[in-house]
A and B are shown apart, each in its own frame.
Chain A
Amino acid sequence: MKNKKKLALVSMITATALSILSGCGSSGSNGGNEGSEANNSDQVHLKMAWWGSQARHDATVKVIELYEDQNPNVDIEYEFYDYDGYYTKLGTLAASESIWDIVQLDNQFPQYINQLEPLDEFVDNKIIDVSNTNEKYLSTTTYDNKLVGISNGVNSFALAYNKTLLDEAGIEEPTDDWTYEEFEKMNAEIKNKLDIYGVSRMDDFIHGAIMYVPQTEKGLNFYDKSNLSTTLGFDDPNILAPYFEMRKNMVDNGSYPELGGIDTNTDSAFQAIRDRKAAMVFIASNQLVELMKGMPEDQEIKLINPPRITKDGEAGIPLRSSQMLSISKNSKNKEEAAKFINFFQNDEEANKILAGERGVPIMENIREMLIKEGNPATLATFEYLEKVSELDNGEINVFDSSLNPEIQAQYNLIKEKVILGELTPNEGAQSIFDFATDILK
């Protein structure tokens, strides 16, 4: 009968489809969380993930294959995503306690601290070799007296400025000890003389909170360093007001883009520099290479540390880990994961491939190797970080609270309200102070 045949056909197709599907997806990834079960015989399976750009994905996979060649008993299943996608996925995996064995994390890691395995033991028994680095670099990933990861590269904050443009306007270059007052004046001058933005983008939370509080007084921090950022590290809300005021002034006089403009993402902010529509931009030092892509050859771009409050005051600038590799607490192959991390950070051939794209490597031999390779943007970044290393007073808290995303989002919202005139700078400062105090309880 026609119907029976149809039904049979449909069921067959469905059954085949389902079996293809369950085979298809799992052939490479061993299903859900079986991946890192304890090895039968010699085969070790590790799972690893990271976020980044196309270039980073290509390079990282090459390094993984290099490691697998040298260690045939190890099979690494990898995944990669864009930044937002990565953290969405990480959240879901954290919910089921099945985070990847080797996980890349940035300053958001405190949210997942319960899922991380400290690495001190592996350093102690030399599985992870730290002889080529020093305490200062290791401290950027030491949290609550435990080494929670090995940094993929340190970075810090800077302003990149177009020297050629400043020369054309007859404006003097900024100096290391320049203040926010001088910064504001310089931007107004750029606007008046050249009719372009002074700066295309600033990371307001970092400038106005994370750096501003330590700049006010040595020992003060936005998040309290002594208790792992579980409370605020200052008690006078008014500290935050001047930055809000400056930001509002800059938008009002046209030296900074208005809301919703080119400062909403790095792409357009960087392009504005290339197009000479702005003279300066905030960058994390490892973004310099990105900024220089497509930069017209006749424009000279230099780095300067962010401004401070008073000429003789604190620089407020820390050396941070841009991101690190950590090991999951639930990993069944922690030692093998540690071995890979050791390779990733120490092996010269691997790092030739990675090319310091994630940040300035913490291992001295790797840095020297990259210097020999001679990419000018990389060299400029290294030099800058050496300067920062000297300016870093060691008291600055480089770790955020686990509630930082929410606090930062609220800070930016308040900032927008101040710029729109809905709140005065002091009201804004009080508001964010209260908000942060409240949710950190």
Chain B
Amino acid sequence: MKEKFRRFMNEDNVVGHVFALPFIIGFFLITLIPMALSLYYSFTDYRLGNPISWIGFDNYTKLFADDRFMNAIKVTFIYVLTSVPLKLVFGLFVAYLLTRNIKGTTFFRSLYYVPSLIGGSISVALVWKEIFSKTGLINVLLSKLGGEPLSWYGDQKLVMIPLVLMSVWQFGSAMIIFAAGIKEIPKSYYEAAEMDGANKLQSFFHITLPMLSPIILYNLIMQTISAFMTFTQAYIITNGGPNDATNFYALYVYNQAFKFNSMGYASAISWVMLIIMGIVTLLIFKSSKSWVAVK
């Protein structure tokens, strides 16, 4: 009997489930049930503190006609499509620079990583807000260079910039992962290329990039998902303005749920965005088949 038990416990199927058990349990307890509840809410008119009433698809038809929601999707996409590539490119660039023979690479690598660590704090968001204010550092620098101070938070066309820059400022997380990847590329590859007459630029595009492509994919997925969920910066720095130019969808959900007390509508919006994000992620994965090198 004991032997049977041992063999049973050592079957891959069982081992896998045992080790994955925490996630599975957690998923059912604290994720699936709340998600099911929120799906239910999305079909209701639910104002916290008041009775719930079923209204079917009304919330969903409402959101397709909701200018503010459509705008929220648009500005969120703009934010994601600008901040993520910039972050990745910059992260890769700096990671590459730091693999050269310079003193203090570990120090600088950690230094560049600090913003990613503390970026989520309120104080830092407030500092960033101040830096781009009318009388803040950026405008002072602009004037010193002979330009005019700009109204970063007052101009719809400009306001995305401080937020994107704040995101790019946190490129450290992507950079570290790229740095690790670059380290692992065997030096012999480069040496062979050099012998064949390739210059640094060619090596970069023909060796480094392809070797890094799986990592680029990983970073792309992670950064895209996190960019879609951006909330704190919009909440603290611009509060969605001006004229909803930075009304990211996470902020809109929060306002609907807790400021306007429309829990039902907020839930509907969230589910729509979840589906959109899922589609985007799927597309990225599908496209990866054509550009990610498999060993």
Task: List the interface of chain A (C-beta within 8 A of B).
Answer: 87-88, 91-92, 94-95, 97, 99, 111-112, 114-115, 258-262, 264, 402-403, 405-406, 409, 413, 416-417, 420, 422
* Chain B residue nearest to A415 in the complex (CB): B243
Chain A residues lying within 8 Å of B258, measured Cβ to Cβ, are 87-88, 91
Residue-wise interface mask of B (174-196) relative to A, using a CB-CB cutoff of 8 A (1 in contact, 0 not): 00000000000000000000000
Interface size on B, residues (CB 8 A): 27
Chain B residues lying within 8 Å of A259, measured Cβ to Cβ, are 151, 153-155, 241-243
Does B50 lie within 8 Å of A409, measured CB to CB? Answer: no
Shortest CB distance A96–B (Å): 9
Complex CA gap A97/B262 in Å reads 17
Q: Which of A88, A95, A261, A406 meets B153, CB within 8 Å?
A: A261
Does B244 lie within 8 Å of A111, measured CB to CB? Answer: no
Shortest CB distance B253–A (Å): 13
Chain A residues lying within 8 Å of B257, measured Cβ to Cβ, are 91
Complex CA gap A99/B48 in Å reads 11
7 shortest A-B CB distances, which residue pairs?
Answer: A260-B153, A94-B49, A260-B154, A259-B154, A259-B242, A406-B260, A416-B243
Q: Which of B47, B153, B156 meets A420, CB within 8 Å?
A: B156
Q: Which of A114, A262, A422 meets B134, CB within 8 Å?
A: A262
Complex CA gap A262/B134 in Å reads 9
Shortest CB distance B8–A (Å): 20
9 A-B interface contacts by CB (under 8 A): A91-B258, A94-B48, A111-B47, A112-B49, A259-B153, A260-B152, A260-B155, A260-B238, A406-B262
Chain B residues lying within 8 Å of A416, measured Cβ to Cβ, are 241-243
* Chain B residue nearest to A97 in the complex (CB): B49
Does A258 lie within 8 Å of B151, measured CB to CB? Answer: yes
Chain B residues lying within 8 Å of A413, measured Cβ to Cβ, are 68, 243-244
Chain B residues lying within 8 Å of A420, measured Cβ to Cβ, are 156, 242-243
Complex CA gap A238/B205 in Å reads 63
Shortest CB distance B189–A (Å): 41
Does A264 lie within 8 Å of B239, measured CB to CB? Answer: yes
Does A91 lie within 8 Å of B48, measured CB to CB? Answer: yes
Complex CA gap A88/B257 in Å reads 9
Complex CA gap A94/B46 in Å reads 12
Chain B residues lying within 8 Å of A99, measured Cβ to Cβ, are 49
Shortest CB distance B175–A (Å): 31
Chain B residues lying within 8 Å of A403, measured Cβ to Cβ, are 260
Q: Which of B47, B260, B263 meets A409, CB within 8 Å?
A: B260
Q: Which of A115, A261, A405 meets B49, CB within 8 Å?
A: A115
Does A114 lie within 8 Å of B50, measured CB to CB? Answer: yes
Q: Which of A97, A112, A260, A422 meets B151, CB within 8 Å?
A: A260
Which chain B residues in 14-61 approach chain A with CB under 8 Å?
47-50
Chain A residues lying within 8 Å of B68, measured Cβ to Cβ, are 413
Chain B residues lying within 8 Å of A115, measured Cβ to Cβ, are 49
Complex CA gap A178/B242 in Å reads 31
B159 at the interface (CB under 8 A from A): yes
B261 at the interface (CB under 8 A from A): yes
Shortest CB distance A186–B (Å): 23
Chain B residues lying within 8 Å of A88, measured Cβ to Cβ, are 258
Shortest CB distance A441–B (Å): 13
Chain B residues lying within 8 Å of A87, measured Cβ to Cβ, are 258-259
Complex CA gap A88/B258 in Å reads 6
With contact pairs A115-B49, A259-B243, A261-B154 given, residues A405 and B260 touching in the complex (Cβ less than 8 Å): yes
Complex CA gap A115/B47 in Å reads 12
Complex CA gap A360/B155 in Å reads 40
Complex CA gap A321/B261 in Å reads 22
B255 at the interface (CB under 8 A from A): yes
Chain A residues lying within 8 Å of B262, measured Cβ to Cβ, are 406
* Chain A residue nearest to B255 in the complex (CB): A409
Complex CA gap A87/B49 in Å reads 12
Complex CA gap A261/B48 in Å reads 34
Interface centre among A88, A264, A417, by most chain B C-beta atoms within 10 angstroms, is A264
* Chain A residue nearest to B151 in the complex (CB): A258
With contact pairs A260-B238, A409-B260 given, residues A91 and B243 touching in the complex (Cβ less than 8 Å): no
Does A114 lie within 8 Å of B49, measured CB to CB? Answer: yes
Does B153 lie within 8 Å of A111, measured CB to CB? Answer: no
Chain A residues lying within 8 Å of B255, measured Cβ to Cβ, are 409
* Chain B residue nearest to A410 in the complex (CB): B68
Shortest CB distance A200–B (Å): 12
* Chain B residue nearest to A265 in the complex (CB): B239
Complex CA gap A92/B257 in Å reads 10
Extra 5 A-B pairs, beta carbons < 8 Å, given A91-B261, A261-B154: A88-B258, A115-B49, A402-B47, A409-B259, A420-B243
Complex CA gap A403/B265 in Å reads 14
* Chain B residue nearest to A89 in the complex (CB): B258
Which chain B residues in 246-282 approach chain A with CB under 8 Å?
255, 257-263
Does B241 lie within 8 Å of A95, measured CB to CB? Answer: no
Chain B residues lying within 8 Å of A91, measured Cβ to Cβ, are 48-49, 257-258, 261
Does B49 lie within 8 Å of A95, measured CB to CB? Answer: yes
Chain B residues lying within 8 Å of A92, measured Cβ to Cβ, are 48
Complex CA gap A224/B50 in Å reads 22
With contact pairs A260-B153, A261-B134 given, residues A417 and B243 touching in the complex (Cβ less than 8 Å): yes
Shortest CB distance B258–A (Å): 5
Complex CA gap A59/B101 in Å reads 60
Shortest CB distance B151–A (Å): 6
Complex CA gap A214/B294 in Å reads 72
